[in-house]
Amino acid sequence: MNRGIWYAVGAYGLWGLFPIYWKWLHHVSAPQLLSHRILWSFFLLFVIVVLSHEWRSFRNAIPHARVLLVYSGAAILVGVNWLLYVWAVNAGFVVETSLGYFINPLLSVLMGVIFLREHLRPWQWVPVALAAVGMLYLTFSYGSPPWIALTLAFTWATYGLIKKTAPLGPLNGLTLETGLLLLPSLVYLGYAETIGKGAFMHSGMLSDMLLLGTGLITAAPLLLFASAVRRIPLSLVGILQYIAPIIQFLLGVLVYKEPFTVNQLIGFGLVWVALIVFGVEGFLAHRARALIRARAAQEMEPEPVEF
């Protein structure tokens, strides 16, 4: 099997297993978890930047106002996304977090149409409409919108939109984003320590090791993902991305025994059908384009000369 596929499976598999890691740290408040994740992620990413000889390009990019503006927006979005996700997992909403990442690809497509003037094929509107119906059904059945799922999907899709046109690569970009969030994180951790609510060095060695490990679990799947997208088509990456929310959903229902009602099944089911339609349509469109290219290449080949 292509090595890029294994990299993608590894990245999305790790992202899918994130709830287990955060559940181990349920005794630490979400803001502290976020702050430690930013702190140790920046430290690890900075070391990788230096060791990979990316330091000069990283340093030269920092003084540019446009770069700082773009990545400040990206940093705020990723910070909100990480904070809400950690809080939701430890508050017992793993199933709803999975819904956010199920609908994220469709929301990203819709943002591409609105902001990047991308055009959808006629059949691509079908899954977008089905997902919207699923969200409306869940809104009426809950009595309010599934705000955790929608916020996670919106922040991550908007983050992806910004990163699509961002000037830095994935490694340098995330290093800068965590660097921009580093000072507020250190201030908060210092404040928590002064009021006697700091978790680090106060909750046992296992807790301290897990907090230190937040940098590794942030960087590892991102580096695997970056390696995957260089080796396999984005269409295949798009299919494999559903590994993460599937694992999260199964963890929520089967491991953490979160309630999953008939109304949720109907709402989720509409979203799942939308994703199946979206995936099948994309696969067929990709095959059709490949066939057209193959025929065009055959027509351009010179005919054999007979003697």
Q: How confident is the model over 148-153, as a mean pLDDT?
A: 94
The yes-or-no verdict on residue 306 having pLDDT over 60 is: no
pLDDT at 182: 96
Average pLDDT on 50-54 reads: 87
Contact 55, 115 (CB under 8 A): no
pLDDT of residue 301: 64
Q: Can you give the pLDDT at residue 303?
A: 59
- Determine the average pLDDT of the residues in 176-187: 95
Please say if the pLDDT value at position 277 is more than 80.
yes
Nearest Cα to Cα of residue 175 among 18, 52, 286: 52
Both tokens of residue 191?
């404040």
Is 247 within 8 Å of 101 (Cβ atoms)?
A: no
Give the position of tokens 């799942």: 272
CA pair distance 153, 139, nearest whole angstrom? 15
Q: Give which of 275, 291, 290, 289 is closest to 240, Cα–Cα.
A: 275
CB neighbours (10 Å) of residue 207?
Answer: 17
Query: Is 28:134 a contact under the CB 8 Å cutoff?
Result: no
Q: Is the CB of residue 91 less than 8 Å from the CB of residue 83?
A: no
φ, ψ of residue 128 in degrees (nearest 5): -60, -45
pLDDT of residue 248: 96
pLDDT at 140 over 90: no
pLDDT tens figures, 57-81:
888 888 888 899 999 999 999 999 9
pLDDT tops 70 at residue 1: no
Summarised one tens digit per residue, pLDDT across range 205-253 is 999 999 999 999 988 998 888 788 777 766 677 778 889 999 999 999 9
- Which amino acid type is present at position 87? W
- The structure's pTM equals 0.87
Q: Count CB neighbours of 293 within 10 A.
A: 10
| Percent of the chain at pLDDT exceeding 90 | 53
pLDDT band at 13 (very low <50, low <70, confident <90, very high): very high
What is the band of 22 on the pLDDT scale with cuts at 50, 70, 90?
Answer: very high
Residue ranges of alpha helices (H) inside the chain are 3-16, 18-24, 30-51, 55-61, 65-90, 94-115, 125-142, 147-164, 170-194, 205-229, 234-240, 243-250, 262-300
* pLDDT at residue 260, rounded to an integer: 93
- Please name the residues in contact with 23: beta carbons below 8 A apart, sequence gap of 6 or more: 89, 90, 256
Higher pLDDT, 133 or 115: 133
The token pair at 229 is 């997208």
**Closest by CA position to 72, among listed 188, 153, 173:** 173
pLDDT for 31 equals 96
Alpha-carbon dihedral of residues 76, 157, 273, 122, nearest 10 degrees? 160
